[in-house]
Amino acid sequence: MRKIDQTYQISKLLTRIENGEEFDVSELLVSDRQPFVMGLTGPPGTGKSTIISKLAKRLSEQKKKVAIIANDPTSKLSKGSLLGDRIRMDELWNLDNVYIRSVPSRGRKGGLNYFVVEMIYAFYMFGYSYIFVETTGVGQDEVEIADVADLVINVSVPYLGDEVQSIKAGLNEVTDIYVINKIDLGNYEIYAKYLYLAIKKNKWGWEPKIVGVSALKEKNLDELIKLIEDYRPFYRKKLKETVLRRFSFMVASRLEYIVDSKIEQTSMESLMADYIKNKSLNETIKKLISDAL
Amino acid sequence: MSPTKRIKVLIAKPGLDGHDRGAKVLARSLMEAGFDVIYTGIRQTPEKIVKTAIQEDVDVIGLSVLSGAHMYHFKEVMRLLKKYGIKDKLVIGGGIIPESDKKKLEKLGVAAVFGPGTDIKEIVDFIKNRVRAN
């Protein structure tokens, strides 16, 4: 089979998954062999796509098969999406062992499409064992990436708030590596000091690390790569839990997808009339859900 | 939010031409019309465009050229699609393209060419009609 034909085959499978068709991952889930999933998250414009591009290129040079699932936001108004992550990954286009797929978030919380886990396993089925998942640009509260990835890389830039931001709940509690990008543009050490307040050894014994880089100027990337390698033994320790988390993400997402589809097809006027009549939201919802299933 | 299937469009600028305002306006407008739009920006080669279209499984490839090099780039894109056996992509074009070349491009299999002043609604309707027909 020509390489391009296999690409075409994967591409069609991903489309079916994205459109809500069921994809059976049961055997892949229980297998001892699992993909290594790196989740990159952080505010818009911090450099997630650029960092992925650099890391993917290195992995590709080591003959690894690399897949990138790049989420971008969906418009609440039109339900269309503008997907622009590939622009930052221009250097990867001709690498035969790298596959980039842009994915609309469909407005799902966490900045991830409903079917990200199924997509991960679809890639893995085709031999892509290193997988990057990039969230849409997100802030403090979007911890869903930790349900999907083995390693959470939180990308920020210098001067993003003080130490109180670091001790808040949310993304900080699930970050494995903090990357402060664009260090060529400002003093990142003060910001790094604030971040240190968030550092706490997790239950697998990994202490989150902080590294300053400039992805565009390829500064300190070796340091980041070394941290990812240092992390590898810890990822194995928590693999069992990671698989369960992925499964829980799949379950919750499918449920949301079913409910969201149903709500979209339902007239709110008649649903509200139903609620006004029987005065119980639980009853109205029960009817809606049993109807959807 | 709608989880249903949407039409997927790739907007790309082949060649060295850097005039990307039109392509950006169109990318944004197609998003506002409810499409999923992959925007890959300037300085794309035909090979890169075709590979991207395959990886992303787009329904439509929209090429924007304002430099005069449209005949070469469009021809290459069409040739590569044929070489790889890809038949499920609608190819459309835009930019500064003389009337006399439009016919030649259509002969190559380019579905439509939209020049300056085109109403965006016209492009949206064209895509909707053609993609649904497929």
Domains of chain B: 8-133 (3.40.50.280)
Same domain? A276 vs A223: no
Q: Of A159 and A100, which is predicted with more confidence?
A: A100
Same domain? A234 vs A263: no
Domain with A148 in it: 3-238
A77: Cα within 13 Å, side-chain hemisphere? 7
Confidence of residue A104 (pLDDT cuts 50, 70, 90): very high
Residue A247 lies in a domain: no
Same domain? A20 vs A155: yes
Residue A244 lies in a domain: no
Q: The CATH number of the domain where A218 resides is what?
A: 3.40.50.300
Residue spans of beta strands (DSSP E) within A138-251: 151-156, 177-180, 209-212
Residue A170, SS3 per DSSP = coil
CA distance linking residue A192 with residue B42, whole number of Å? 36
Cα distances (Å, whole numbers) of residue A121 to A53, A132, B76: 21, 12, 34
Same domain? A139 vs A169: yes
A264: Cα within 13 Å, side-chain hemisphere? 13
Confidence of residue B3 (pLDDT cuts 50, 70, 90): low
Q: What is the mean pLDDT of residues B59-77?
A: 95
- A162 C-beta neighbours (distance < 10 Å), count: 12
Same domain? A193 vs A280: no
What is residue A160's predicted lDDT score, i.e. its pLDDT? 82
| Residues A39-58: tens digit of each pLDDT | 999 999 999 999 999 999 99
Confidence of residue A197 (pLDDT cuts 50, 70, 90): confident
- B87 token code pair: 């038949």
Confidence of residue A240 (pLDDT cuts 50, 70, 90): very high
Residue A246 lies in a domain: no
Chain B contact set for A81 (CB, 8 A): 6, 31, 36-37
Same domain? A185 vs A268: no
Cα distances (Å, whole numbers) of residue A45 to A50, A84, A172, A188, B25: 10, 11, 19, 17, 20
Chain A contact set for B31 (CB, 8 A): 75, 78, 80-82
Q: Indicate whether this model's pTM tops 0.90.
A: yes
Q: Does B1 score more than 80 pLDDT?
A: no
Same domain? A234 vs A256: no
Same domain? A156 vs A277: no
Residue A87 lies in a domain: yes
Taking alpha carbons only, the member of B133, B129, B46 closest to residue B86 is B46
| Residues A54-75: tens digit of each pLDDT | 999 999 999 999 999 999 999 9
Chain A contact set for B5 (CB, 8 A): 19
Cβ contact, residue pair B33, A20, below 8 Å: no
Contact (Cβ atoms closer than 8 angstroms) between residue A111 and residue A105: yes
The Cα of B99 is separated from the nearest Cα of chain A by a number of Å equal to 31
- A116 token code pair: 């990200």
Q: For chains A and B, what is the number of CB pairs under 8 angstroms? A: 95
Confidence of residue B2 (pLDDT cuts 50, 70, 90): very low
Q: Of A108 and B57, which is predicted with more confidence?
A: B57
Cβ contact, residue pair B5, A19, below 8 Å: yes
For residue A282, give every residue at least 6 positions away whose Cβ sits within 8 Å of its Cβ, in sequence order, or none. none
Q: Does A165 score more than 90 pLDDT?
A: no
- Cross-strand partners of A209: A177
Domain count, chain A: 2
Q: Which residues 19-78 of B have a C-beta within 8 angstroms of A?
A: 27-28, 30-41, 47-48, 51-52, 54-57
Cβ contact, residue pair B32, A99, below 8 Å: no
Contact (Cβ atoms closer than 8 angstroms) between residue B86 and residue B54: yes
Q: Does A200 score more than 70 pLDDT?
A: yes
Same domain? A161 vs A259: no
Residue A138 lies in a domain: yes
Residue A245 lies in a domain: no
What is residue B134's predicted lDDT score, i.e. its pLDDT? 59
A148: Cα within 13 Å, side-chain hemisphere? 32
- Cross-strand partners of A41: A154
Same domain? A129 vs A232: yes
Taking alpha carbons only, the member of A243, A276, A262 closest to residue A120 is A243
Residue A187 lies in a domain: yes
Cα torsion angle, A41, A47, A51, A53, sign: positive
